[in-house]
Every structure is written in C-alpha cells, then in structure tokens.
Structure 1
Amino acid sequence: MKSRISAGINQLIEKLQQDQSPNGSWDYPFETGISTDCYMIILLRTLEIHDEILIKQLTDRIISKQEKTGAWKLYYDEGEGNITATAEAYYALLYSGYYRKQDLRLKKARQYILANGGLDNVHLLTKLMLAMTGQLKWPARFPLPIELILLPPTFPINFYSFSVFGRANMAPIMILADRKYCLRSKDSPDLSDLLTRKHDHSDNDSVHFHNTEEWRSLYETIEKGIKCLIGLPSYIHKLATEQTKQYMLARIEPNGTFLGYFSSTFLMIFALLSLGYSKKDPIIIKAVKGLKSMKCEINGQTHIQYTNAAVWNTSLISYAIQEAGLSTKKQMLERANNYLLSQQHYKYGDWIIHNPSSFPGGWGFSDNNTLHPDVDDTTASLRAIARNVQNAPNYRQSWDRGVMWALSMQNDDGGWPAFEKNTNSRLVKMLPIDKAEFLLTDPSSADLTGRTLEFLCSCTNLSKNHEAIKNGMNWLLRNQEKDGSWYGRWGICYIYGTWAAITGLRSAAVGETHHSVRAASVWLLSIQNPDGGWGESCKSDSKQSYIPLKASTLTHTAWAVDALIAVSDKPTKAINAGINYLLNHLHHKDWTTDYPKGQGMAGDFYIHYHSYRFIFSLLALAHYQNKYHTRQ
C-alpha cells in the first residue's frame, strides 16, 4: 500500500505540474452546464453582435448535450430532463439561426417542454430573461420595488438584507422590472407556442409569483417604509433608479463584468439598455468582452464559464502539494503562492456594511474578483501560505490581515457564512422568489464553519478555548442532522458537509469517541459502496436529505476517506477500501468524472470543478501517508 500511495501521489503531482499556468495559478474549468452558453448566444443576438465563430461553437456544445428524450439535464441521474435547461437550450439554438423549429432535435425538445408545463414551469430567473427579451410579459407588480434600495439598513428588510450575490442579480432586475423593459431583435424567435397557462388573453404570457399571506404582509411593510421616505413619489422613484444604477457601476470589475459573475453582468447590460445606454456604449462593449474572456475549452468544445475558479483552485492545490511533503516542488509552490499574494483584497467591499469594524484582507474566488472576498477562499489561501509566514515578511503582512478578516466574519450564531456576516433574514425567505433562501441569503453553513474551524485550529496559534473556536464548534454540534451527517451548502452535499464538519471538530480537539463524531463516522460507513468508494446524487440538495448516486466518484470518496482518517488512529478496512478505490481510479474516466460536485442554488445550478478529482484525491492520499506510514 505504501509504495502504491507514493506512486499515486507522484502521478497527481506530475499532472498538476503540467497544468500550472505561467503566472503560477491553475485555471481548471468552472463548468456549469449549458445555461451560460445559451445566455451568451441570446445576448449576442439581442445586441446584434454577430460573432459567428463563438455562436457556432456554443451551439455545437449545447446540441451535443441533448438527451435522446429531446431534453437537457443538469446532471446525469436527474431523470428524463430539466424543463428550464431544455427551454433555455431550445431558445438559444433557435436564436442562433443555426437551427429551426422544423429540425428533428428541436421538435423533440419542444415536445418535452410542452409535456412538462411549458414556459410557465421554468425557473423564475429564466422567466425574467424571457420577459426582458420579449417572450413573456413583465408582471404588474414585482416583489421588490426599486425604492427598496433607499430603505436604511435598520429597516426590517432592506437592500442589504440580501447577500452580495443576491444584490448583484436583484439590482439590475429591479431596474428592468420597474421599467418593464424588453428588447427584441429582428432575429428574435417566437416562443408563444410554448405557453400552456390558461388565463385571460392579456395575462396568459406573463411572469407570475406565488402570492402568499405572509408575502402580502411583508410587501405592505415595505410599502409603508417607502412612504416614509421624504420627497415626492416621482423624486423618490428617480433617486432609487439612480442609486440602483450607481450600485452596479461602482462594482464593475477591471475586466468589465459586474462583480465577476455571468448572470449579474448579463442582467446589468439589459438594465443599462433600459436606462437609455446605447448598445455600443463602452461600458456595455467592455462587459460583453469581459463575458467572452471567461471562455474556456472542455474536451475540444467552447464553454462560457459563470466565473473562473483560479484563486480557489490555486489555494487548494498549493496546500495539497505541501501536505504531500514534496519539498522538491519548491519553485512550483513559490509561483503559486506569489500568485495568491497578488490576489489578496485591499479594497473595502459590501461586507463592511455588516462588519464595520474590520479591515480588508480576504481573498475572492476568481482573479476577476477584486471587490467581494469570501471566507472559504480566504482560509484556503491562508492554508497555502501558512508554512512561509515565519520566514518572509511579505507573507506575514498578508497572513495577519487575512486571519483577522476571517475571524471578523463569524456570524452571531457562531458559524461562518461565505460572503457577508449576518445575512440570513427570515423575512427574505418569505419573498415569492424561487429558491430565495439560496439566491438571497448567506447563512452559516457546515462546510464553511468546519473548514474555518479546521484552519484556525491547525494553522494558527489560537487556543482551543478561544471564543471564536468554541462558538464555531458549538454551531456545528447544534446543526448536525439526526442521521449523523451535516448539510454542505456549497457542495454535493451531505458527504461534503460531513467531511468539513468532522475535520473541523477533530482539529478543535473534539475526541473520536464524542457522540457527534461517532455518529458522523457511523453514517459515513453506512453509505460506503461495495467497491470501497462513495458517491452522492445532486438530488440531495433539493430533497434536503442524503440521496445515493449508486456509483462512486473520486471526489466523494476522497472527502469520506479524509474524514475517516481524521477520526481513526490506524487504518481501518473501510479506509483502506476507500484508498484502494482512489488508487484504482485516478486515471479512470466515465460519467462520474464529470458529475457535479458543487452547487449554488439547489435544483438549478450545479458545478463540475475539473480540479477536484486531483486536489482531494491528493489530499486524502497525503493525509493517509502522513498519519499511518510509520505503522505500515
């Protein structure tokens, strides 16, 4: 086993060395299905930017993902298909001009859409895209009036009640919904035959919201707050529009995108057009260029990424290589860590609203991101540079700022969020917006809390009795599921959360016999597959309970094995079986290789991190070697 592990580690290191970019980073694709590819086609055609090479490349990728049913899926075991993904693909392929309704593939797609509820059954964000491109009517009243942006942070619900990624999408949507803006081009397809809702003629093609008693009460509260604002309604409305516009413009990244995300940039472009900006305005041209810059190639096909994961990949890979103890890779690591130092944030971002006493010092997810750091990337980057802090002054400065920022971001409940402190308002969840709890809130989560706890206990000199550590530990113990697992908000899903929680608790000196750790270990052992591996379905996040994938994946196996290593003083039969699965499948490729391991919005947004199979396999093998090699 010992020699096989060493060989496996060396193979992974060689692969990573080959894939490192000249600037020291790793830019493995951040793959999110076909949605961004579809929206890019729709955007280019609507703006009458006829980049035929790119449009044809994107259509080729989209059509290659179609299932025999005529549908498109978000993940392998989703069922027959996904209505939203299929509608987006159908629209984009028609709009591209390279496919027509009469084509057999599009006929099958249309049949699937109609059989599954038509355009009335797609996700809300897709409905809004259809409204702004003239396929659906805007609702008479949008859940978030644009004047909301003027309400003070002390008001029960206000613009800063939302998470930063919620605001990034809602700001342009509020402008668009207020103006009921739509833009069609001469090539716009007609999707009216995909509407199935039976309403009055004037209403049968509009966006609808669930109108609950709770929501009506909340809307009345917002309206009362708006009426208390000083000034004539017309002045208040104009001021709100201007402030919302300025919110977007002030957060345009150097590459032209709005906070570095595809969706927010797409929406911003339409919002600016609705405000009278020309299609050829430099801001819009640069924004489109920024979206194009997120292009990557996957298996010879062109994909537009939602963002890139360069900082995240680089921090995780640097740390994993160091855990493997390969000092001969010094130059490779120096380049990686110098890159990370260059990506640290020194600007104040929106996080300061709820965390006014802290100074900048975090890291963001991508190199497009200079304005909104997050806790996960910050602790990951700090892990990567930890071994350099004692001997290099430039590392020490970055370290001190980063650690203080991460500590300052702890929520009042003891857990850690991703982007912003204490943005988990119960009122936000009452909004009649699909998946509002995922899109608009940023609560404490087991994955963020567990990994932050692990970092603080393993890499800093903080006492295990430090208040932040005790509060984080208590949050994890309070939020364990009845079956012994933890839910991971940003990954798939219960295996992910359980791995982070166990490694965090063990680093905080919670013993392996503690009832919480023992329950988690028993749960992991109960879901191990006969081949020695682990695998979890994306269905888990929508069902809010563990759903097996019925196949093993490298990444899920690595997470589970790493968690079990953390609680066992010697290798067990289950651990060895998991390690053997990793070693036997390092170069194996099938559908499980491309299966998403991350998620952003349950049921609608899944991420295939192309780096994960290398990073976490390497980490599990390194931890096994470090803990047990003397006992082999």
Structure 2
Amino acid sequence: MASVRFSIQNEINRIVNKLKNEQSPDGSWRYPFETGISTDAYMIILLRTLEINDEDLIKALVERIESKQQSNGAWKLFYDEGEGNLTATVEAYYALLYSGYRKKSDKNMQVAKRKILEMGGIERVHMFAKFMLSLTGQYPWPKFFPIPVEIILLPLSFPINFWDFSVYGRANLTPILILADNKYRTKTRRSPDLSDLFVSRCKDDDYWRWLQTDRPFFSYIKQGLKSFIGLSQYIHSAAIHHAKQYMLNRIEPDGTLYSYFSSTFLMIFALLSLGYPKNHPIIIKAVDGLKSFACRINGYPHMQYTTATVWNTSLVSYALQETGVPSTDPVIEKANRFLLLRQHDRYGDWAVRNPYSLPGGWGFSNMNTINPDVDDTTASLRAIHKFAIKEPLFRQAWDRGLNWLLSMQNDDGGYAAFEKNVNKRILRHIPIQGAEFILTDPSAADLTGRTLEFFGKFTNLSKHHPTIQRGVKWLVNHQEKNGSWYGRWGICYIYGTWAAVTGMISVGVTPKHPAIQKAVKWLLKIQNNDGGWGESCKSDIEKTYVPLGVSTLIHTSWALDALIAIFDEPIPEIQAGIQFILRSAERKDWTTSYPTGQGMAGGFYIHYHSYQYVFPLLTLSHYQKKFENFYV
C-alpha cells in the first residue's frame, strides 16, 4: 500500500501544479465549455447574415468545423453516435457554404450532402435548427405556431402562463415568439441554396412534424386571453412590446441575453424583425459578446455556448483546498476574491416564484448577474467556506448565499437548477421538441444530492432539519428500480448516483440504508474489467443506463467517490478503480474528450475541460483521507 500512497500523492501533486499554473491573472480558471460545432456554424451564419466580414474568424471556424467531419461525411455529437447527427451535419454544411470558402462541388461537401439525404433530409433536423433555417430563408415557417406571443400577457393566476416556462425556455422562446409571429426571414447575396437537401415535397406545415397537433394548448391559451384581456390588435402589439422588453431588460453587461449563445443569436434576429438596423448598437454589442465566448481548442477557435468561468473557478478552488492547499495560498486567495465579485446582488426571474428571498446566489458564466443557479451557489460556497470563518466580507457573502439556497428548495423536497416550482407537467406535452429539457426546471437527483452534500459537510444544519429530511425523502422516492439515479446535467446515471449517494451519506444516512445498498450493487455491477466505469450519452436519450463499452476518467472518478463515501475500508473494487485513475492520468484518446455534461437529450452535450482534473483530484484526495490508516 505504501507504493499506492506514493503514486496517489504524485498524481495529486501533478494535478495541483497544473491547476496552479493554469490560473488566469484575475484568479479564475477559464477551461473550455465545449459543445461540438453547432455554435461555430451559427457564428458563421450570423456574421454572414449581418454582413460583418470578420474573415479571419470565419476562415478559422471553417477549419475547425471541417476538422470534426467524419469519413462518412457526417458530424457527430459524441463518439458512439452511430452514423452521425443529422442536425449537426446540416448546420455544418450550411455554415461551410455560407462562409463562401467552400463549394457544393468540394469532395467533402458532396459526401456531406449524400449523408444528409441518406439520413432523411433537411426536414428531419431538430426543431430549433428549423427555426434558424426559417429565419435565414432556407425553410418554410409553419402557418401555425402552438404558443401565441400573447401568452406573455397572461397573469400568474392563469393555470398556464409565461412564468411557468423555465428561465432557459423563456430566454429562447421569447425571440422565437416574435419571429414566428411575423414569420421573419432574411437572406443576403451570399446566402446558399439548400433546397436540394429536401427529400420530400410536401406542404409547408408537414415539414414541422413536431408542431402537428389538434391545437388544444393553443386553444386553451386563446380562451384564457379572451377571458382575461380580450383579443385585439392593441393586445397583440402590447404582447410584442412586452416580449421585446423582456429581452432588452435581461441583456448582460457583455451584450448577450442571459449569457447564452442561442438566446442571443435569436434575440438579434428578433430585433431585426422589429426593424432594428444591422448596425444598431445593441446588435453590434451582442455580436461582440458572442465573440468574447471564443476559446482555443487544439489550435482552432471554438465559439462556446457560454463560458463556465464561475463553475470552473469554484470547482478548482474547492478541489485544491481538499488536497490540503491552504486557504492562505495566493492561488486560493485570488480565486475566492474573484468568486466574491461574481456573487449576485440583483433580482432575477427566480424571484417571481421565490419573492421573499434576497439575492445571494452565483451564476455559471463569467458575465452573469441575474441568473443564479443552485449548483454554482453550492460550489462557490464550498470554495469560500474557510474564508467565511475569518473574514467579515466573506461571512456576509456566505450568509446571503446560504439563505438564498435554503429558499430555493422546491415544494416536493428536491432542488432544481434555476428556479423554484417550475415543473408543470402539461408543459412537457406542448409540441416543442425537447420540451422536457427546454421548458421545465424540475427537481433533479444531481442537484438535490449535491445540495445535501453541501449542507452535510459545510453547514451546522442538523440531519433532522426539515430541509435535509425533505431532500433525502425526495431522493429515496426518485431512485430507479436498478438502484441508480438519473442525473439531469451530466452523463448520466453514474453522475446522478454519485451525487445522490454522497449527498445522503453526508447528511447522516447510514450506508446500510436500502437505497444506499441498492446503489452499491448497481455501481459494482456496471464496473468494467479494467477497474473503471464509462457511460454513453445514449443513456439520456433512451432514459436507461447505456454502457459506453470503455472506461472514462471522469465516470470512474464519480463512481469511486460514491463508493469511498460508503465503505469504511478500500474494497478490491475501489482499489481497482484507483489503479485505473493512476494508469489513465495522462491518457490522450477519444475518451478524454467524451462529453460528460448534457443540456438536452439527443441535441446538446458538453465536454468540460476542467473535469479531467477536478474530479480525479477530489476522488484521490477523498480516498487518501479516508483510508490513510490502511497504508503500510
């Protein structure tokens, strides 16, 4: 065991030194938030539409997009995605043509076109890609859209209203409501012709398969509008005005809407549809804000969907402190003072459902002032907890953050990401593709588990505190039959199980509890022969655990951390997992860039570049602390 201890300490030291060396001058860590090529494609399309000829950026994005093309012509969202992803392939093909630097006659473009037609044609792309294609003149708008813009005027008392949508849903749907209302479309002299990507020749509405409905939701909203406010051109104009103001009032200091690429992209087009010129200062600042999302990966620029600066910084600061780096170390000092500056002091949409709490949470991205979330708040509080003991300024921040966090528990006992009690089941039946992920913000095992873990390890809350008891009850009631938990924001069942188990153990749930024992059996059952664990992104599509077939460093770290929390001695399966981490520490292959974060099943996956350091570091540190007496 002495050699194991030596190897573990060496690996901890290696990661610690790497993280220290990669800290930014302002104290943050700016590891990429990588989401495939869609944002790169959309940036080209946006710049060409606005006739902003940033040729250096466009050329570089073209090269990055092409570098990701598969030999069969398609683009993928993740390694084991079969033949490829139709939506990503259409987006890439469109952007390459619109750039002007690639032609339909190019060999790789011909192969891509054949693959698009083989996979069903442009009419089978994801709904949100169809919106982009429609507003840039490549796809017909549907004659009917299931959500009228007037929904923004309905009061909170109405059974279904604008504030029932998640904040992410509102951010993206608000500009779409404006665009769909007037069926806005714009083309330029550079616009390519994508008509040869259609397989069928049917009526316009038939292209929008996800909008085929008997319109009960639409009729319900219309009836509500008639009952509450009547229907007139004045009401319609008022709804458009309110939708515009919703966007403008939530623009962050960098010019983006809520720090999201998609909502900012859509906002720009919505403003164009309302008569704003292409060179309007709001539009130019929004474009500059999106450009600021650029990072470099393997020599190419990548347009991040958002930045993960606060998330990365809080995770890294906490992980370093867990290894024994003192809070007085300049690296920790700089990191935590950066986090202090990023705590929110403004009310956001969260206050609509939680009106009695003062602001105090943290957001995810670097420039995020009104959209805090539970995960970043617990992560930031973990990072500053030692500072809160000794410095009044940090103690004030701690108290504000903790009070906000306590106020955000849902009525069902769980925790969601951004808001409180925003989970009406009827919204999942709206004919919007991905409505479950886009329009709702339900309690989730990963968020609930990590919040409990924070309460148990970093606060003085009793395990009998109602908040903790209700959280534990929610987790027990939402365990899968096989013993796992579904993790909403990661891949996927390993992620949720790790968070649920470590959370429950931290607040005093005994390892002998039936739910914990079921989780142990499941984790040990799915361990690979090499000692590691690995889960496919297909899990969140099929809503059941799908093994990846190989082990990844991050999945292994999550599974091991859960087992370490449960067992009082290092069982052989834990030892095998530790050996896998040590063998794979500097591994470089497709598994090291495999997405372990998710935004929307089948459409949006995230490779967090910080995770390959943070989670192995935490797991090795927890192993070392708990099992030090077993070393010879």
TM-score range, shorter chain: over 0.9
Alpha-carbon distance in structure 1 between the residues aligned to 2:122 and 2:564: 48
* Match of residue 178 from structure 2: 175
Answering whether residue 433 of structure 2 is matched by residue 430 of structure 1, we say no
* Match of residue 209 from structure 1: 210
> Which deviations, in whole Å up to 9, do the C-alpha atoms of 1:485-524 show, x marking residues without a partner?
0000000000000000000010111111111001101100
Partner letter of residue 75 of structure 1? F
Alpha-carbon distance in structure 2 between the residues aligned to 1:528 and 1:230: 59
Partner letter of residue 183 of structure 2? K
Alpha-carbon distance in structure 2 between the residues aligned to 1:412 and 1:328: 36
In structure 2, runs of 5+ residues without a counterpart are none
Q: TM-score, normalised by structure 1?
A: 0.98
Partner letter of residue 553 of structure 1? T
Alpha-carbon distance in structure 2 between the residues aligned to 1:34 and 1:368: 23
Q: Which secondary structure does the structure 2 equivalent of 1:303 belong to? A: strand
Pair 1:425–1:232, CA change in 2 (3 A): closer
Pair 1:121–1:232, CA change in 2 (3 A): closer
Contact 2:77 2:603 survives alignment (8 Å): yes
Pair 1:185–1:435, CA change in 2 (3 A): same
* Match of residue 3 from structure 1: 6
Contact 1:139 1:208 survives alignment (8 Å): no
- Kindly state the Cα deviation for residue 230 of structure 1 after the two structures are TM-superposed: 3.2
Q: Which secondary structure does the structure 2 equivalent of 1:302 belong to? A: strand
Alpha-carbon distance in structure 2 between the residues aligned to 1:576 and 1:490: 28
Alpha-carbon distance in structure 1 between the residues aligned to 2:428 and 2:358: 30
Contact 1:446 1:487 survives alignment (8 Å): yes
Q: Which secondary structure does the structure 1 equivalent of 2:79 belong to? A: coil
Superposed, 1:241-390 pairs within 5 Å as 241-327=240-326, 330-390=329-389
Q: Which secondary structure does the structure 2 equivalent of 1:550 belong to? A: strand
Alpha-carbon distance in structure 2 between the residues aligned to 1:370 and 1:255: 11
- The equivalent position to 1:50 in structure 2, one of 53, 62, 68, is 53
Alpha-carbon distance in structure 2 between the residues aligned to 1:149 and 1:80: 41
Answering whether residue 171 of structure 2 is matched by residue 138 of structure 1, we say no
Contact 2:146 2:211 survives alignment (8 Å): no
Contact 1:197 1:204 survives alignment (8 Å): no
Alpha-carbon distance in structure 1 between the residues aligned to 2:330 and 2:151: 52
The size of the alignment, in residue pairs, is: 628
Superposed, 1:507-546 pairs within 5 Å as 507-546=506-545
Superposed, 1:183-262 pairs within 5 Å as 183-200=186-203, 203=204, 206-213=207-214, 216-230=215-229, 233-262=232-261
- Kindly state the Cα deviation for residue 457 of structure 1 after the two structures are TM-superposed: 1.2
Q: Which secondary structure does the structure 1 equivalent of 2:175 belong to? A: helix
Answering whether residue 415 of structure 2 is matched by residue 412 of structure 1, we say no
Q: Which secondary structure does the structure 2 equivalent of 1:622 belong to? A: helix
- Kindly state the Cα deviation for residue 168 of structure 1 after the two structures are TM-superposed: 0.3
Contact 2:344 2:369 survives alignment (8 Å): yes
In structure 1, runs of 5+ residues without a counterpart are none
Q: Which secondary structure does the structure 1 equivalent of 2:390 belong to? A: coil
Partner letter of residue 273 of structure 2? S
Contact 2:143 2:205 survives alignment (8 Å): no
Contact 2:294 2:302 survives alignment (8 Å): yes
Contact 2:74 2:86 survives alignment (8 Å): yes
- Kindly state the Cα deviation for residue 631 of structure 1 after the two structures are TM-superposed: 2.4
Q: Which moved more, 1:578-587 or 1:345-354?
A: 578-587
RMSD of aligned residue pairs (Cα, Å):
1.1
Contact 1:136 1:205 survives alignment (8 Å): no
Superposed, 1:13-32 pairs within 5 Å as 13-32=16-35
Q: Which secondary structure does the structure 2 equivalent of 1:535 belong to? A: strand
Contact 1:87 1:119 survives alignment (8 Å): yes
* Match of residue 588 from structure 2: 589
Partner letter of residue 120 of structure 2? G
Alpha-carbon distance in structure 2 between the residues aligned to 1:85 and 1:3: 45
- Kindly state the Cα deviation for residue 199 of structure 1 after the two structures are TM-superposed: 1.7
- Kindly state the Cα deviation for residue 388 of structure 1 after the two structures are TM-superposed: 1.7
Superposed, 1:499-510 pairs within 5 Å as 499-510=498-509
- Kindly state the Cα deviation for residue 212 of structure 1 after the two structures are TM-superposed: 3.7
Superposed, 1:455-534 pairs within 5 Å as 455-534=454-533
Alpha-carbon distance in structure 2 between the residues aligned to 1:287 and 1:560: 41
Contact 1:42 1:95 survives alignment (8 Å): yes
* Match of residue 107 from structure 2: 104
> Which deviations, in whole Å up to 9, do the C-alpha atoms of 1:228-265 show, x marking residues without a partner?
24365100000000000000000000000011000000
Contact 1:453 1:472 survives alignment (8 Å): yes
Alpha-carbon distance in structure 2 between the residues aligned to 1:217 and 1:46: 36
> Which deviations, in whole Å up to 9, do the C-alpha atoms of 1:60-103 show, x marking residues without a partner?
00001000110000000000100000000000000001111111
- The equivalent position to 1:158 in structure 2, one of 161, 164, 167, is 161
Alpha-carbon distance in structure 2 between the residues aligned to 1:70 and 1:2: 48
Superposed, 1:547-626 pairs within 5 Å as 547-626=546-625
Alpha-carbon distance in structure 2 between the residues aligned to 1:151 and 1:590: 52
Contact 1:255 1:286 survives alignment (8 Å): yes
Alpha-carbon distance in structure 2 between the residues aligned to 1:342 and 1:86: 40
Partner letter of residue 530 of structure 1? N
Partner letter of residue 18 of structure 2? K
Contact 2:327 2:387 survives alignment (8 Å): no
Alpha-carbon distance in structure 2 between the residues aligned to 1:251 and 1:331: 35
Answering whether residue 119 of structure 2 is matched by residue 116 of structure 1, we say yes
Q: Which secondary structure does the structure 2 equivalent of 1:219 belong to? A: helix
Contact 1:137 1:205 survives alignment (8 Å): no
Q: Which secondary structure does the structure 2 equivalent of 1:307 belong to? A: coil
Identity %: 61
Answering whether residue 89 of structure 2 is matched by residue 90 of structure 1, we say no
* Match of residue 400 from structure 1: 399
Q: Which secondary structure does the structure 2 equivalent of 1:600 belong to? A: strand
Contact 1:136 1:207 survives alignment (8 Å): no
- The equivalent position to 2:78 in structure 1, one of 75, 80, 84, is 75
